[in-house]
Amino acid sequence: DSGVTQTPKHLITATGQRVTLRCSPRSGDLSVYWYQQSLDQGLQFLIQYYNGEERAKGNILERFSAQQFPDLHSELNLSSLELGDSALYFCASSVGDNNYGYTFGSGTRLTVV
């Protein structure tokens, strides 16, 4: 157990639907990072939050949004889902906002049918 908890582990949903992925960072970590891993594009950085504030934004689609709550857990919301959104979504956390020292969660596998 890495200390970073992601739920759910698996999610199957239909096109056009909306889902929420949840991440609880390791105790003491203030940064949360979201990544998408697909077969054809490798790991893509989506967004980073540090202590509740957005710190950096990657190639996150407008249909996707995220936030970090006062208790530091984070949620990634994916809406108007398309087949191409099927991927592994990873959350990572770190103590600071310097983008290293990551601890990854085990990921959420999203399948859009």
Binding residues for another protein, rule: CB under 8 A, are 2, 42-45, 48, 55-58, 88, 90, 92, 98-104, 106-107
Considering beta carbons, is residue 1 or 71 the nearer one to another protein? 1
CA distance 36 to 69: 21
Considering beta carbons, is residue 2 or 17 the nearer one to another protein? 2
Nearest to 79 by CA among 18, 34, 22: 18
**Smallest distance, Å, CB 110 to another protein?**
13
**Smallest distance, Å, CB 22 to another protein?**
18
Considering beta carbons, is residue 16 or 30 the nearer one to another protein? 30
**Smallest distance, Å, CB 16 to another protein?**
27
3's tokens:
């200390």
Residue type, 62: E
Burial class (CB in 10 A: 0-12, 13-18, 19+), 83: exposed
